[in-house]
Chains A and B, each alone.
Chain A
Amino acid sequence: MTETTVDFPRNFQKALGDGQLRRNLRAAMDTLGLRRRTLFSDPEAFEQLRARGDAIRRRALSKLPELLERLERKCTENGIRVHWAETPAEANQICLDIIRRHDATRVIKGKSMVSEEMHLNHFLEERGIEALETDLGEYIIQLDHETPSHIIVPAIHKNRDQIARLFHEKIPNTPYTEVVEELNAIARKVLREKFFAGEVGVSGVNFAVAETGTLCLVENEGNGRMCTTAPPVHIAVMGLEKVVERLEDVPPLLRLLTGSATGQLITTYFNMITSPRKPDEKDGPREVHLVLLDNGRTKIWADPELRQTLKCIRCGTCLNHCPVYTRLGGHAYGYVYPGPIGSILTPQMEGLESAGTMATASTFCGACEEVCPVKIPITDILRRLRVESYNKADTPNAVKGHGYKVNAAESLTWKGWALSNATPWVNALNAKLLGLLGPQLPKLPGPDIVKKWTQSRALPPFAAKSLHALVKEKGIADE
């Protein structure tokens, strides 16, 4: 990974100070949320559907090794070449080798978060290979040398005016226009030429069906179909958790994915790729490769609680409903996967030391879990990551970087807190002291937390008489 250390406090402050960003995000998230609610308007039906989605993903994960083997076997039978990569570096090298074998220098890409995990574009560009994003949102941010700020709508942080200026400045001979149809036409014209010239197409995979060796690709723009059919070589990159057992598992997941992501009943395009071009066929790539990336997933899979992270179908609806994401956008998180799913996935992949802060950027409001189409217990996993952050014990399933936060002051504070709350007379004394000294707290030396609290709020109104004292006065029974 190219990221080294992410300065979360600075990123957060910068994002929170960017009024334009917050307005753009708020408007976009409201629209996506509304569309989702409109599609899943019957809560009971939604609960039934997501129970199926959850069950399908659980079943797939419960036999993951077996399903991956079956997928490899079926794909190979169908003529798709399967490659295994433990790290992003290995996956990049596999892609590079394929591209070089064909003496290709022009790669066209459909949207893929796994390729973002690999930083594939950057890797290829450093080796003289053009990797052009053909999804409109991805194309926009690539023009501006940015990374996706959302896993489904990568340019969501930009509004129309910003895109209009970008096209005018970055695409030669492009007159300024804010008309959406005209902007679309400009991108279409550029991309159309690139599709014809592309020598290798790279795509992601939404679901891979073990039973049939089928790679499913969900998209709205047709660029995914172009990338996977126009060039003579197609490379699909996929996180190894994306496998499902049977073909019949796909429709409920597809409905959940499109409904949760964009509120669509179905996307404009749904591609099912089961083989390269056959001898009697007139189109399609001559070679299809599937690169299966681990990148920490096997370790996540080993722990029954953390494994649930891998149920994710990358719909992004947890981002759309997250009050933290809505105020920060994706870039502030500093890693490929932002928002609630990013906050549970990234610390497990990258280690708590570098990404553990993400697990603290949540109020546990549960808005993400309420909408998650596969019922990932996001808050429980966030809580687990907080526990791991203070846990030095080297258990087999401990998260990378565990115990990084251990410090004497905090441990002592919580020990004192526990002692007080488990010892009634100490607790009563504390209540009395706080009642007396509470208003003086900001004047006392030390606790930074008082300053942080009062930066936007009045002090808590510590009462002269606690409830314990009041009930005693009023003669409420103690039994």
Chain B
Amino acid sequence: MPTRPEKAYYFGTCLIDLCYPQAGMAGIELLRREGIQVIYPRQQSCCGQPAYNSGFPEEARKVARQQLKAFPMDYPIIIPSGSCGGMLKHHYPKLFADQPEAAEAQRFAGRVFELTEFLVKVLNVRFEDRGQPIKVTWHSSCSALREMRVIEHSKSLLRQLQNVELIELQRERECCGFGGSFSVKQADLSSAMVADKVADIEQTGASLLLSGDCGCLMNIGGALKHRNSPIPAKHVAEFLLERTQ
């Protein structure tokens, strides 16, 4: 594990940029509060995963090259998403395997951390809960669970909050049905999957859904809203910041 760095890059992800900027800012604040000087390169955009998973590797590489360029220094790269993190850490080396940037992509991948992973493993944060008692439930994104393997870090942060009761889903390990373009290319399947996820969330009795991935939040949160459920969906960074301010 690297020692606590002075500076760290923040990769905001395109979805947070467009739809959940407050979640992105919360992540930055959590890092700054721990004394990290956060750098947000303005040249950054998307990790390239949408094209990569849809059968367009050339286009994915074009966008990925832009990220390699935008994060040139040797600082850790922190990402408030397991999915985009997985792309940078596990798929960039494959995407550039037979390209001139192969070695660069390897080094880049080695600097990638998911936000909660960084907070726990590198910064060893200690939170004091300042909020009212609340019951929350947690959705594990598949990439955070199986690629980045950071779910225990995310949950350990929630467990630090003494007034927060975490009620786990019955099928926490099951995909919510987002899958990027899957959600529209296989809309019926995706809808069936998210409907089951929503039912699981509702049976917990929790008043809030948390996750570390905005793709899942857009999907599940959108489905909750679509059926006028009173349960909001929130990124874990935003929640952690609110509770501890």
Whether both chains belong to one complex is answered with yes
Interface positions of A (Cβ within 8 A of B):
9, 12-13, 16, 323-324, 327-328, 360-367, 369-370, 380, 383, 386-391, 405, 414-415, 417-422, 424, 427, 431, 434-435, 448-449, 452-463, 465-472, 474, 476-479
Given A327-B189, A456-B191, A466-B21 contact (CB < 8 Å): yes
Query: Given A367-B173, A414-B54, A477-B40, does the pair A362, B19 have CB atoms closer than 8 Å?
Result: no
Chain A residues with CB below 8 A from B58, complex form: 418
Q: Which residue of B17, B45, B59, B192 is within 8 Å of A414 (Cβ)?
A: B59
Q: Which of A431, A454, A478 sits near B17, CB closer than 8 Å?
A: A431
Residues A418 and B41 in contact in the complex (CB < 8 Å), given A363-B142, A462-B19: no
Asked whether B186 lies within 8 Å of A424 as measured between CB atoms, the reply is: no
Q: Which of A391, A418, A422, A471 contacts B40 (CB 8 A)?
A: A471
Distance between Cα atoms of A110 and B128 in the complex (Å): 63
Question: With a CB–CB cut-off of 8 A, which chain A residues contact B164?
Answer: none
Residues of B within 8 A of A383 (CB): 52-53, 55
Which stretch in B60-68, B107-115, B117-125, B130-138 binds the other chain?
B60-68
- How distant is B162 from chain A, measured CB to nearest CB, in Å? 30
**A476 and B191 contacting across the interface, CB-CB below 8 Å:** no
Asked whether A452 and B173 contact (CB < 8 A) given A364-B142, A457-B226, the answer is no
CA distance A455 to B186 in the complex (A): 12
Q: Are B175 and A387 in touch, CB under 8 angstroms?
A: no
B interface residue numbers (CB < 8 A to A): 7, 10, 12, 14, 16-22, 24-25, 28, 37-43, 45-46, 48, 50-60, 62-63, 65-66, 73, 94, 142-143, 146-147, 173-175, 177-180, 182-195, 218-219, 221-223, 225-226
Are the CB atoms of B178 and A422 closer together than 8 Å?
no
Q: Quick one: given A360-B186, A478-B39, A478-B42, are A470 and B21 in contact (CB under 8 Å)?
A: yes
Q: Return the contact of B219 from the options A9, A457, A461 (Cβ within 8 A).
A: A457
Q: Are B175 and A471 within 8 A (Cβ)?
A: no
Shortest distance from the beta carbon of B36 to any chain A beta carbon, whole Å: 11
What are 30 A-B contacts with C-beta separation under 8 Å? A323-B174, A361-B186, A364-B142, A367-B142, A386-B54, A386-B55, A387-B56, A389-B55, A390-B55, A405-B55, A414-B54, A415-B59, A418-B63, A421-B48, A449-B184, A453-B183, A454-B226, A456-B191, A460-B18, A461-B20, A461-B218, A463-B21, A465-B21, A470-B21, A471-B25, A472-B42, A476-B10, A476-B28, A478-B41, A478-B42
| Complex contact A365–B175 (CB within 8 A) | yes
A364–B218 Cα gap in the complex (Å)?
Answer: 17
From known contacts A360-B186, A470-B24, infer whether A463 and B194 are also in contact, taking CB-CB under 8 Å. Answer: no
Report which of A391, A452, A468, A477 forms a contact with B39, defined as CB distance below 8 A: A477
Q: A30 CB to closest chain B CB, in angstroms?
A: 9
Contact among B59, B177, B191, B192 for A417, CB-based, below 8 A? B59
Are A422 and B45 closer than 8 Å at their CB atoms?
yes
Asked if A422 and B62 sit within 8 Å, CB to CB, the answer is: yes
- How far, in whole Å, are A387 and B61 apart by their CA atoms in the complex? 13
The residues of A that contact B18 with a CB separation of less than 8 Å are 431, 434-435, 460, 462-463, 466
A463 interface neighbour in B20, B28, B37, Cβ under 8 Å = B20
Chain B nearest Cβ from A398, distance in angstroms: 13
Besides A455-B191, A461-B19, A466-B21, 17 new A-B residue pairs in contact (Cβ under 8 A), listed by A number: A16-B189, A361-B182, A361-B189, A366-B147, A418-B51, A418-B58, A418-B60, A418-B62, A422-B45, A424-B43, A431-B17, A456-B195, A460-B222, A471-B28, A471-B40, A478-B42, A479-B7
Provide the bound-state CA to CA distance between A346 and B65, in Å. 34
Q: Are A424 and B38 closer than 8 Å at their CB atoms? A: no
In the assembly, what is the distance between CA of A462 and CA of B214, in Å? 12
Query: In the complex, what distance in Å separates the CA atom of A104 from the CA atom of B45?
Result: 69
- Verify B179–A365 contact, CB threshold 8 A: yes
Give B62's nearest chain A residue, CB to CB. Answer: A418
